[in-house]
């Protein structure tokens, strides 16, 4: 009898709309030639003598109990219960195992651990003794093969561990390798954990702002994969700043190539578009500044335009031409805005204002512009949001 092979289509079960499929789900059965025992090895722990279903994963054979694998609404449930051409249900054998594609032996071993774990072992995962790599494997496999309860449990444990000390500087996601936070963010999207996803994004954006250069390309890759527009804006922005501050001329000493070993042509084009848009924004903003509404009690006809507005315009002109602002890269509009806020908000610039509330209004207008700039950061790299816009092909 030909071997039953479980072919897994890598399809994301995320909530990101029309973003490209990047991950795990949906299974179909397809026949393939038998696998000889000489090409495989038995798993040391999960090849149970009393098991009644056999899986081949990444060259390793697992023999486990079908009632465990077929529960919790998993993708294996129908395969174990529906008859196969009038014979016994498909459960595989050593000569004819169920082969899983796209998984590693460690991932399937992690799933087996969850299926067989004792209550004390389960409880341990709720403490600092959690085995995070294994728990991430469980979450990925549970999501891929639709183990609903195991997905929720593993994501709860991951969230609890990663955000345990989120109010301190010792939270795990603030210091873990970039590939780990990338993996966690992927899972939050695939498992529809919106609150956790927002928290992971905020932590990662903070890391990007701290010049965690190893995270930049990882952040762009995940953001692009799932179409996380706000996160894309910050990821591209910090990547652009890193490239702007680390410029090395070519052999001729004049021209500098715009390139990056981890980015493709579409991503490089987005960075160039962002650079142009951000520098054009700053040129306009530095020249015109912000509008200042007259405060209650301030003479809007005479005093406000002749005293308050002129005082603000004078200090604005000095501030935008200050050394601290000019030394920031041309595209670092967020950094320039923060510097302006520090300069114009200091006590040393309070002179010349007959109405203190007008000055507060001016600072509030600057803060609102800064907030709007952060919210629309992705527009500079991706263009304005377009309804039903086709996905770009990543070259």
171-227 pLDDT per residue, tens: 788 888 999 999 999 999 999 999 999 999 999 999 998 876 668 889 999 999 999
Residue range(s) defining the domain that contains residue 331: 276-381
Mean pLDDT to the nearest integer, 151-163: 93
Number of domains in the chain: 2
Specify if 372 maps to a domain. yes
Specify if 181 maps to a domain. no
pLDDT band at 34 (very low <50, low <70, confident <90, very high): very low
CA dist 109 and 124 (Å) reads: 18
Specify if 72 maps to a domain. yes
CATH code for position 81: 3.30.710
Domain-terminating residue out of 83, 101, 118: 118
With a cut of 60, say whether residue 251 has pLDDT above it: no
Q: In terms of Cα–Cα distance, which of 40, 78, 80, 82 is closest to 62?
A: 40
Specify if 370 maps to a domain. yes
Domain-terminating residue out of 98, 118, 138: 118
Confidence (pTM): 0.80
Pairing mode, strands 27-32 and 83-84: unpaired
Neighbour-count burial of 202, counting CB atoms closer than 10 A to its CB (0-12 exposed, 13-18 middle, 19+ buried): middle
- Give per-residue burial for 140-158: e unless 16+ CB within 10 Å, then b: bbbbbbbbeebbebbbbbb
Domain-terminating residue out of 118, 137, 152: 118
pLDDT recorded at residue 73? 87
Specify if 190 maps to a domain. no
DSSP annotation string for 239-288: HHHHHHHS----TTSS------TT--HHHHHHHHHHHHHHHHHHHHHHHH
- Which of the residue ranges 150-164, 205-219, 228-242, 341-355 would you say has the lowest mean pLDDT? 341-355
């Amino acid at each position: 009898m030909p071997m039953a092979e479980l072919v897994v289509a890598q399809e994301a079960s995320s909530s990101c709309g029309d973003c490209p499929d990047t991950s795990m789900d949906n299974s179909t059965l397809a026949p393939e030639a038998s696998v000889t025992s000489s090409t495989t090895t038995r798993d040391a722990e999960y090849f149970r003598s009393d098991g009644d279903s056999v899986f081949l994963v990444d060259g390793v054979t697992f023999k486990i109990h079908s009632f465990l694998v077929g529960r919790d609404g998993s993708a294996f449930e129908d395969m174990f219960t529906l008859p196969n051409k009038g014979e016994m249900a498909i459960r595989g054998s050593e000569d004819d195992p169920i082969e899983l594609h796209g998984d590693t032996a460690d991932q399937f071993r992690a799933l087996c651990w969850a299926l067989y774990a004792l209550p004390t072992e389960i409880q341990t995962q709720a403490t600092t003794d959690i085995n995070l790599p294994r728990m991430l494997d469980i979450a990925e496999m549970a999501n891929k093969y639709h183990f609903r309860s195991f997905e929720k449990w593993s994501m709860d444990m991951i969230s609890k561990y990663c955000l345990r000390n989120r109010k301190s500087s010792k939270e795990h996601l603030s210091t873990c390798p970039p590939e780990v936070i990338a993996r966690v963010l992927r899972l939050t999207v695939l498992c529809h954990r919106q609150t956790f996803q927002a928290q992971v994004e905020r932590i990662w954006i903070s890391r990007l702002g701290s010049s965690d250069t190893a995270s930049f390309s990882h952040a762009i890759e995940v953001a692009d994969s799932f179409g996380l527009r706000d996160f894309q804006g910050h990821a591209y922005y910090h990547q652009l700043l890193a490239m702007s501050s680390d410029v090395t001329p070519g052999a001729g000493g004049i021209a500098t190539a715009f390139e990056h070993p981890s980015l493709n042509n579409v991503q490089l084009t987005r960075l160039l578009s962002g650079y142009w848009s951000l520098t054009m924004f700053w040129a306009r903003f530095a020249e015109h500044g912000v509008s200042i509404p007259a405060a209650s009690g301030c003479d809007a006809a005479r005093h406000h335009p002749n005293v308050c507005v002129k005082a603000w315009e004078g200090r604005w002109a000095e501030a935008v031409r200050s050394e601290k602002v000019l030394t920031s890269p041309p595209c670092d509009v967020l950094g320039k805005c923060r510097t302006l806020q520090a300069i114009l908000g200091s006590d040393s610039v309070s002179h010349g204002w007959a109405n203190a509330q007008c000055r507060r209004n001016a600072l509030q207008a600057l803060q609102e512009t800064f907030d709007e700039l952060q919210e629309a950061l992705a527009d500079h790299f991706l263009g304005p949001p377009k309804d039903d816009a086709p996905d770009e092909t990543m070259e």
